[in-house]
Each structure stands twice: as structure tokens, then as C-alpha cells.
Amino acid sequence: MPQAAMNAKPLAGLRVLDLSRLLPGPACTLYLADLGADVIKIEDEAQGDYARSLQPALFKAINRNKRGMCLDLRQTDGRETFLRLVERADVVVESFRPGVMDRLGVGYEILRERNPALVYCALTGYGQSGPYRNRAGHDVNYRALSGQLEQSGPAGGAPDLSNFQVADIAGGALTAALGILAAVLRARETGEGALVDAAMLDGTLALQWVALASLAQSGATRPRGTDVLSGGLPNYSVYACRDGHYLAVGALEAKFWGMFCDAIGQPGWKSRPLTGAGSEATRADLADLLRTRTRDEWMALLGDTDACVSPVLTLEEALADEHVVSRGMVCQVDGLPQFACPIKLSGYRFEVERAAPEPGEHSAEILAEFGLKN
């Protein structure tokens, strides 16, 4: 295979103007940038992206492989420069509340006049329509309103937060990226762009397939921590070990449960109830047994058994795990650990070609490229 084809960037030639801030929007455009799109991060000249000061390491991680420039869209010159950039762009991403871009004079209808094939993604908490459209919000609010937060946590306990931002990333960034790419494909076929209305509440709501199935089948969702994949089954749960670490047991199918029972020296447990009456006794006995050894002692016993049992690792342990390392999922940028792009395509090798930009770092370069004066 020719060398050029060995590392052909899948999104090479796609130009993205990114006005978003904080986490969801920049995470969305990070996926595009890591796959070869030319993402130009545009920041306000006065304040810029708040993530620079709130969490500098986060800012650096989700804005790598992007170029940066500063524009003041409240000023005539800045607005006109942006409109000129739009004429040669494929995608615009913004995360302001509905109406802000219109008030600045750069809303979707104005931009599509300049570039009918433009894909314009508005990534917001509640979307461009509906009674909540102008509300402020964060990940916890979208999770709460979607019903997802109510389903998170142990049985009998309060809803709990996670250090994974479900709404921001899964409900927002990834949903927006998928919508953008679908609209780009259509635009290349038809010459007609689109407004991608990506709402984090919508995206988070639509992730809850198992809870919705319980509702559809029985007329109500299961109480928190008791559904089939949220802790309701003794063979699909998390257990404490003697050293305070945990094991994740995912022996959901009968064949895996059988392997697990054999491996822990309890072949008679294969026939014990896993649902309904008696299942809690199974859970209690399993919990008592797993507390007799440390996590690593159990993994030494179970590690080669194909029974869907894993150690619950810290992030530090996960980053050093031999499989994670072998998959190339950890990279160093300016001395800081970052996740590599998780999308692996034949013929393309992910690379960090540039660190996150300083404010306005590439302004002159970009203006010259577009034939505009600095």
C-alpha cells in the first residue's frame, strides 16, 4: 500500500469553525480533529474559553489538534471576518443558548445565505425549541430531567453522581458529532446544508434503552439499583473484597455463571436462584465469599477464566493496564497524560500533531490562508 494511503486522514479537507466552550462542544470537535478535520477554535478576544482557567489540563486534553484564533463577534470587523470564514467552511459548531448567535448577527439563517452547504450544529442543554430552551444547565441537570440520574446509584440509596459526564459526552458531544457527520454526507450529495439541533437532554434520554424496556414490559421502571443491569441480579453486580477493592461480576449468561461458580469452588451454586425468591441469599453468600480474599488474589484465581469477571481499577491502574497500553490508548502531550483517539480505522494512525492552541495563536496564519487582513 502506498505510504500516503497508510495514514490517510478520514476527515481530511473538512473545515470546522468551533465557537463552543467548556466540555461538550470542544469534546465533539476533538473527535473531528483527531480524525483529520481542520478545526479552528474561535475564542472571544476578551474572555475566551473559560475552561482555560477552570481546568487547564482538561482544556489542553480536549482542544489538541486544533488551530486557534480570536474574534470579537460583537464588533463589525470581527463579525465580518467570521462571515468570510464561513464562506469557505463546512461546519460551524456553537454552544450558546438559543438566540445568542442571532443577536450577534451570525445566526443560522444569515450563515446559510453566505454558504448554503454549511452544516451548523447548535449543541445546547435543551435544544432550540420547547419550554426549557432558554434555561441554564449542566450535566447533572440534564441527567436529572432525563430520568437517568434517578436510575443511578445503589438500591435503597440516593441518586449518585459519576465522574463520567453522561449528558455532556454521551448525550451531547457524541450525539452532535454523529449529527454533524450525517449532515456533511448529505450536504456533499445534495449541496444543501443543515441545522443540527443537538440537545444534551434529548441525547441522554435516548440512551436509556434498558430502563425503557422495563417500563414497556411491566408498566414501570424498576427501583434504582434493581434492574437487570443496574444491580438487580447477583450475577451482574459489584462486590467488595477483603482489601477494600472491588470485583465486577458480569456472568450474565448461564455459561458464564457456570464457569464462575466452578472457578470459585462452588459448582453447586450453578442451580441457585438468580432472580426472584432466593436470589438475595445467593447475593449474600457470594458477597461473603468474595470478602475472604483480596481483589488481586481473586484475579489470580479467575484471570484466565472466561467468566466475565474484572477488577475494578482506579484510573491510574487503568492507564497502566497492559491491554490499554497495547491498544495505544494513552499518550503524552506537553508532559500530561491524555487519552488517544478511541476510533481505530485501517489505513489511519492517530497522531497528536499539535497541542491545544494558545489564545489567538494561529490568527495571522488563518487570516492569511483565507486572504483576509490581520
Q: Choose, from 168, 197, 202, 227, the residue flagged as catalytic.
A: 168
**What is residue 90's DSSP assignment?**
S
Q: Give the helix ranges, DSSP H, for the chain.
A: 3-6, 24-34, 51-54, 56-62, 76-87, 100-104, 108-114, 139-146, 174-190, 200-205, 209-218, 254-263, 279-290, 295-302, 315-320, 322-326, 363-369
Q: Distance between CA 79 and CA 71 in Å, rounded?
A: 8
Question: Does the annotation count 362 as an active-site position?
Answer: no
Residues 6+ apart with CB under 8 A from 167: 139, 142, 143, 146, 148, 200, 201, 203, 204
Helix (H, G, I), strand (E, B) or coil at 127: coil
Q: Distance between CA 150 and CA 135 in Å, rounded?
A: 21
**What is residue 202's DSSP assignment?**
H
Q: Give the helix ranges, DSSP H, for 266-314.
A: 279-290, 295-302
Question: Does the annotation count 168 as an active-site position?
Answer: yes
Q: Distance between CA 128 and CA 96 in Å, rounded?
A: 10
Q: Choose, from 138, 245, 262, 285, the residue flagged as catalytic.
A: 138
Per the CB < 8 A criterion, the answer to whether 284 and 290 are in contact is no
Other residues' Cβ atoms within 10 Å of the Cβ of residue 130: 13
Catalytic residues: 138, 168
